[in-house]
A and B are shown apart, each in its own frame.
Chain A
Amino acid sequence: MGNLLELRGIWKSFGEVHALQDVDFCVGENEIVGLLGDNGAGKSTLIKIITGYHQPTRGEIYWRGKRLDHFSVHRARELGIEAVYQEKALADQQPLWRNIFMGRERTTKLGFLDVDGMKKETTELMRGFLRFTSAAVTPETVVGSMSGGERQGVAIARALHFQAELIILDEPTMNLSLTETQKVLDFVSEIKAAGKSCIFIDHNIFHVHPVADRIVILDRGRVAGEFRKEEITLEGLIDSMRRVAHTGSLAGAS
Chain B
Amino acid sequence: MARDATELSLRPGWARRLVAGPRILALRRYGLQIGTVAMALLLWVIYAVKAPETWLSDDRIYSSLMSTVPFTAVMALGLTLVVIAREIDLSFPSVMAVSALVFVETPGDPVFGLLAGVGAGLVVGLLNGLVVVKLGIPSLVATIGTLFFWRGIVLVATGGNGSGLTDESASWVGRVLVGRIADGRIPAQMLWTLGFAVCLWLLLNRHRFGAHVYLVGDNVESAKMMGVNADRVRTAVFTMLGGLAGFAGIVSGLEVSYFWPTGGEGQLLPTIVAVFIGGTSVFGGTGTIFGTTLGSFITGSIEPGIVSIGLTGFYTQVIWGAMIVLALVMQAVVMRRVGR
Do A and B pair up? The answer is yes
What per-residue 1/0 map shows which CB atoms of A130-146 lie under 8 Å from chain B?
00000010000110111
Chain A nearest CB, measured from B64 CB (Å): 37
Does B223 sit within 8 A of A, measured CB to CB? Answer: yes
Q: B52-60, B184-192, B224-232, B295-303: which lies at the A interface? A: B224-232
Contact check, B14 vs A91: say whether CB atoms are below 8 A apart: no
Q: Which residue of B lies closest to A51 (CB)?
A: B225
In terms of DSSP, what is the predominant structure of the interface of chain A? loop
With A91-B223, A175-B11 as known contacts, state yes or no: A113 contacts B206, CB within 8 Å: yes
With A142-B29, A175-B14 as known contacts, state yes or no: A98 contacts B214, CB within 8 Å: yes
With A94-B285, A98-B215 as known contacts, state yes or no: A104 contacts B209, CB within 8 Å: no
Partner of B219, one of A92, A142, A148: A92
What per-residue 1/0 map shows which CB atoms of A187-206 lie under 8 Å from chain B?
00000000000000000101
Q: Once the chains are docked, how many angstroms separate the CA of A85 from the CA of B8? A: 18
Q: Once the chains are docked, how many angstroms separate the CA of A181 from the CA of B218? A: 26
Contact check, B8 vs A178: say whether CB atoms are below 8 A apart: yes
- Enumerate chain B residues within 8 angstroms of A113, measured Cβ to Cβ: 206-208, 211
What per-residue 1/0 map shows which CB atoms of B223-245 lie under 8 Å from chain A?
10111100000000000000000
Contact check, A104 vs B211: say whether CB atoms are below 8 A apart: no
Contact check, B215 vs A91: say whether CB atoms are below 8 A apart: yes
Within 8 A of B (CB), among A103-151: 103-105, 107, 111-113, 115, 136, 141-142, 144-148
Does B338 sit within 8 A of A, measured CB to CB? Answer: yes
Q: Which residue of B lies closest to A74 (CB)?
A: B227
Q: Once the chains are docked, how many angstroms separate the CA of A77 from the CA of B308? A: 62
Q: Once the chains are docked, how many angstroms separate the CA of A146 from the CA of B26? A: 12
Q: B16-24, B34-42, B134-142: which lies at the A interface? A: B16-24
How many B residues touch A, CB cutoff 8 Å?
A: 38
Within 8 A of A (CB), among B261-310: 281, 285-286
- Enumerate chain B residues within 8 angstroms of A173, measured Cβ to Cβ: 7
Does B4 sit within 8 A of A, measured CB to CB? Answer: yes
Does B161 sit within 8 A of A, measured CB to CB? Answer: no
Contact check, B209 vs A93: say whether CB atoms are below 8 A apart: no
Q: Once the chains are docked, how many angstroms separate the CA of A174 from the CA of B226? A: 22
Q: Once the chains are docked, how many angstroms separate the CA of A175 from the CA of B340? A: 15
Partner of B223, one of A101, A103, A144, A175: A103
Residues of B within 8 A of A (CB): 4, 7-11, 14, 17-18, 21-22, 24-26, 29, 202, 206-209, 211-212, 214-215, 218-219, 221-223, 225-228, 281, 285-286, 338, 340
10 contacts between A and B (CB under 8 A): A83-B225, A88-B222, A90-B222, A93-B281, A98-B211, A105-B208, A112-B207, A173-B7, A175-B10, A175-B11
Residues of A within 8 A of B (CB): 77, 83, 85, 88-94, 98, 101-105, 107, 111-113, 115, 136, 141-142, 144-148, 173-178, 181, 204, 206
